[in-house]
């Protein structure tokens, strides 16, 4: 018998080999009918299961119904299979690649000579409806790795062969959309799936776009077909309405129409050119935050856009994230080969021992610089044995240090992926006493990530972006106060902009994931500190394993915009690891050296991403203080143009951003153009206004505010021209 612990901590005993479906049936017929999947935890972390999967031992079990968010992921994965089958039936020459569920839906990458168009979607959906109406079961079967590979090779789809070869474990699993293999459509798949196709109640094929295999532009171009699915039609309809609203608010479209930024392929994919109006928005945000930082004792710094690779070896950014970084710039071919050798040794597992590429790299190094090669290999008999590379897996760390010493004479450079290593070196450049701490260093620093071409998107996913970065070096006793201040600042920034609907997420490390720095004691301290700070703030928070930065846990602010989409914005991180890696210290009251704690924080995060989200949140209609143009002064005719010019100059001298439209065009088109550009106010100047020295005020919504004396109008604007001076949410 096995013991099943349910979410309410009640325990049920079930016979060996019982499935999640058996547990649901034992609880009651209603749950048995409603369940679509399960999550089991055998003590090693949660795993998602098919209802038909046998439970392999004592576990905690959560049965999933359409009320659970996790069930939606399973439904969408299953719908991706149904869509893929429909496409294969309509176009039998289709070669499937892979089709995962993603946020808000799913996609399937396919290789098909027929270019899919929106007109094809209805045809695909009709075929899907037939499969769903047949209410076929999703049936899983497994094969040995050897037999499974032979099967996919016989079938002749090179993408599935590659997927099978990349799969881990000694068995491969397949899912049949039907009761048995051989008679129905099937796919190589790890799972999980709903019990039957008939549970798919609402679905939609949404779009198709180009994509490269594994996101690599040098590989085969594919078609990526997107869709979504829900358990009921009402939720699908609500989702489609949100998508339509999102299209209207798309920052790429509005950014072009409002003249805020340009993404120029001549300059490069993912590289933003800020036009004057967009630069105004960004500078206003930066200037306001800089003033708040000065109030809180932050000191400004500037750092270069590149740094030596050894800086990032010490921090851990290289090589852990090199796939997301621009390629290094090397001082010589020998430096390139030494770096590649260092990476190969650093990434080799103990089981692998001496990396298979190491000898090839050493051979190339001999041609590039025989002197370095002879010293590393011991061919130079005058080199001490301690300075010669050894093939013993136990010599890994010593080998890495030997190579780093050779790189001191000529290393590579990297476009900086983060600002923190350079801020650390600024801190380390001076001795510090406990009386000096906390040291708070702030910079709007530009960093670079080599996002894959298929992942680059507008301002929200770019290759060069500026972070409102700050790093605090403090004593352990100061940590909670510093975290409280960082959290309060982030809340202020969001609420100032009307972004009041947010949740707080605590990101913790996954001890089984090799990307996280291995220092259990430091992680325990940092995670305890971040939890305490969240509790002290009074904000309720959820915890998510695996969402930490590689060096420390963090608190993220996940903001919901006015149409219900979630965005991760501000972040606060605690770091006990980098101070150790860089051997940072301060002299304590006991006149002995101590290790500071480091806090990373960025209320805006990426300025590009933050502005992109603001464009969509406000639909381009920014609150007055952020509007690139705050007032258009529009003269009705030539007779009022002189006074219109006076009004324009008065507004400009009062520090307001105004434009003058004294062209011969009629007033209607002038007002329409200003409203199209989302200008908050239009000051209409006719002969009557000129004679009375008044302004006739309209707003961008088409409302008539009426006639105001010029001084009163200026006072009204100045009062409103403050962050939070008018409820930002009222502008949406």
Residue 107: strand, helix, or coil: strand
Section 701-719 average pLDDT: 94
Given the structure tokens 């913790």, which residue do they identify?
A: 508
Residue 228, phi then psi, degrees to nearest 5: -145, 165
Return contacts of 420-423, CB within 8 angstroms, 24+ apart.
420/315, 420/469, 420/471, 420/578, 420/598, 420/600, 421/307, 421/311, 421/312, 421/314, 421/315, 421/317, 421/578, 421/582, 422/303, 422/304, 422/307, 422/311, 423/301, 423/303, 423/469, 423/471
The per-residue pLDDT for 584 is 97
Q: In this structure, how many other beta carbons lie within 10 angstroms of the beta carbon of residue 562?
A: 16
The per-residue pLDDT for 550 is 79
Please state the length of the chain: 732
Residues taking part in catalysis: 420, 449, 467, 469, 471, 554, 600
The per-residue pLDDT for 517 is 75
The pLDDT-based confidence of 730 (bands split at 50, 70, 90) is very low
Section 184-199 average pLDDT: 94
* pLDDT per position as a tens digit, 328-366: 999 899 999 999 999 999 888 877 789 989 999 999 999
Q: Which residues pair with 558 in a beta bridge?
A: 503, 568
> What is the pairing mode between strands 464-474 and 597-602?
antiparallel
**CATH 3.30.980.10 residue ranges for the chain:** 76-246
* pLDDT per position as a tens digit, 237-270: 999 998 898 889 999 999 999 999 999 999 999 9
**CATH 3.40.50.800 residue ranges for the chain:** 624-731
Separation between Cα atoms, residue 494 and residue 559, nearest integer Å: 8
Separation between Cα atoms, residue 435 and residue 587, nearest integer Å: 9
Residue 199 pLDDT > 90: yes
The per-residue pLDDT for 728 is 38
Residue 324 pLDDT > 80: yes
* pLDDT per position as a tens digit, 371-381: 999 999 999 88
* pLDDT per position as a tens digit, 202-219: 999 999 988 888 777 678
The per-residue pLDDT for 729 is 36
The per-residue pLDDT for 388 is 93
Preceding amide of 319 cis, omega within 30: yes
The pLDDT-based confidence of 454 (bands split at 50, 70, 90) is low
The per-residue pLDDT for 725 is 55
Provide the CATH number for the domain formed by 76-246 in this structure.
3.30.980.10
Separation between Cα atoms, residue 445 and residue 166, nearest integer Å: 38
* pLDDT per position as a tens digit, 144-165: 999 999 999 999 999 999 999 9
Least Cα distance to 355 among 340, 367, 370 occurs for 340
- CATH class of the domain at 2-65: alpha beta
The pLDDT-based confidence of 731 (bands split at 50, 70, 90) is very low
Residue 390 pLDDT > 70: yes
Q: Which CATH number fits domain 429-618: 3.40.50.720, 3.40.50.10320, 3.40.225.10, 3.30.930.10?
A: 3.30.930.10
**CATH 3.30.930.10 residue ranges for the chain:** 429-618
Provide the CATH number for the domain formed by 624-731 in this structure.
3.40.50.800
Q: 237 Cβ partners below 8 Å, 6+ apart?
A: none
The per-residue pLDDT for 394 is 87
* pLDDT per position as a tens digit, 592-619: 999 999 999 999 999 999 999 999 999 9
* pLDDT per position as a tens digit, 535-562: 888 888 888 888 888 788 888 998 887 7
Separation between Cα atoms, residue 340 and residue 354, nearest integer Å: 14
**Exposed/middle/buried for 76, CB within 10 Å: 0-12, 13-18, 19+?**
buried
Average confidence score pLDDT of the chain: 92
* pLDDT per position as a tens digit, 29-76: 999 999 999 999 998 888 999 999 999 999 999 999 999 989 999 999
| DSSP secondary structure string for all residues of 343-402 | HHHHH--TTT-S-TTHHHHHHHHHHH-HHHHHHHHT-STTS-GGGS----GGGHHHHHHH
Given the structure tokens 């409002």, which residue do they identify?
A: 258
């Amino acid at each position: 018998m096995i013991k099943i612990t349910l979410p309410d901590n009640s325990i049920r005993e079930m016979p060996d080999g019982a499935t999640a479906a058996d547990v649901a049936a034992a609880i009651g017929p209603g749950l048995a009918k409603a369940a679509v999947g399960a999550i089991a935890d055998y003590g090693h972390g949660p795993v998602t299961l098919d209802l038909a999967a046998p439970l392999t031992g004592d576990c905690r079990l959560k049965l999933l119904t359409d009320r659970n968010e996790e069930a939606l992921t399973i439904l969408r994965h299953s719908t991706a299979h149904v869509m893929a089958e429909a496409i294969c039936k309509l176009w039998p020459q289709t070669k499937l690649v892979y089709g995962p569920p993603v946020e808000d839906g799913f996609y399937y990458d396919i290789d098909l000579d027929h270019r899919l168009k929106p007109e094809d979607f209805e045809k695909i959906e009709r075929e899907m409806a037939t499969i769903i109406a047949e209410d076929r079961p999703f049936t899983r079967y497994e094969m040995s790795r050897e037999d499974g590979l032979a099967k996919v090779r016989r079938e002749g789809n090179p993408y599935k062969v590659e997927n099978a070869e990349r799969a881990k474990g000694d068995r491969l699993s397949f899912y049949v959309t039907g009761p048995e293999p051989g008679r129905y459509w099937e796919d190589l798949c790890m799972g999980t799936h709903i019990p039957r196709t008939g549970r798919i109640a609402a679905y939609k094929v949404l779009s198709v776009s180009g994509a490269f295999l594994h996101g690599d532009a040098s590989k085969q171009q594919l078609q990526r077909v997107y869709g979504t699915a829900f358990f009921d039609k009402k939720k699908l309809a609500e989702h489609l309405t949100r998508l339509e609203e999102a299209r209207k608010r798309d920052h790429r479209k509005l950014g072009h129409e409002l003249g805020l930024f340009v993404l120029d392929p001549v300059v490069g994919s993912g590289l933003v050119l800020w036009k004057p109006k967009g630069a105004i928005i960004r500078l206003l945000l930066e200037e306001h935050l800089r003033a708040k930082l000065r109030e809180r004792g932050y000191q400004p710094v500037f750092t270069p856009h590149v740094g030596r690779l050894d800086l990032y070896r010490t921090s851990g950014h290289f090589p852990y994230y090199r796939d997301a970084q621009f390629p290094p710039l090397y001082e010589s071919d020998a430096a390139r080969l030494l770096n590649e050798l260092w990476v190969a040794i650093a990434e080799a597992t103990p089981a692998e021992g001496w990396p298979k590429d190491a000898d090839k790299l050493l051979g190339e190094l001999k041609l590039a610089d025989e002197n370095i090669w002879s010293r590393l290999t011991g061919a130079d008999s005058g080199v001490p044995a301690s300075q010669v590379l050894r093939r013993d897996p136990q010599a890994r760390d010593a080998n890495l240090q030997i190579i780093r010493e050779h790189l001191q004479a000529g290393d590579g450079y990297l476009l900086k992926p983060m600002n923190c290593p350079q801020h650390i070196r600024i801190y380390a450049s001076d001795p510090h006493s406990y009386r000096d701490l906390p040291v708070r260093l702030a910079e709007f620093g530009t960093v670079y990530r080599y996002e894959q071409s298929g992942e680059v998107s507008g301002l929200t996913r770019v290759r060069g972006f500026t972070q409102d970065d700050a790093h605090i070096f403090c004593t352990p006793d100061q940590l909670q106060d510093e975290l409280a201040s960082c959290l309060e600042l982030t809340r202020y920034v969001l609420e100032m902009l009307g972004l009041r609907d947010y949740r707080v997420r605590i990101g913790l490390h996954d001890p089984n994931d090799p990307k996280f720095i291995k220092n259990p004691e430091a992680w325990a301290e940092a995670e305890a500190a971040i939890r305490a700070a969240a509790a002290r703030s009074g904000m309720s928070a959820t915890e998510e394993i695996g969402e930490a930065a590689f060096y420390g846990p963090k608190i993220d602010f996940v903001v919901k915009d006015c149409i219900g989409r979630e965005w991760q914005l501000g972040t606060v991180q605690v770091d006990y690891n980098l101070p150790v890696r860089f051997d940072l210290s301060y002299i304590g009251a006991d006149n002995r050296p101590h290790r500071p704690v480091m806090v990373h924080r960025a209320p805006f995060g990426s300025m590009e991403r933050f502005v992109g989200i603001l464009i969509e949140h406000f639909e381009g209609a920014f609150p007055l203080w952020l509007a690139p143009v705050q007032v258009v002064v529009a003269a009705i005719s030539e007779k009022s143009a002189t006074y219109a010019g006076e009004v324009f100059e008065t507004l400009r001298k009062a520090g307001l951003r105004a434009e003058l439209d004294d062209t011969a065009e009629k007033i209607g088109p002038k007002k329409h153009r200003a409203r199209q550009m989302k200008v908050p106010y239009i000051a209409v100047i006719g002969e009557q206004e000129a004679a009375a020295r008044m302004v006739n005020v309209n707003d961008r919504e088409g409302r008539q505010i009426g006639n105001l004396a010029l001084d009163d109008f200026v006072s009204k604007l100045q009062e409103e021209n403050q962050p939070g001076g008018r409820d930002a949410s009222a502008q949406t």
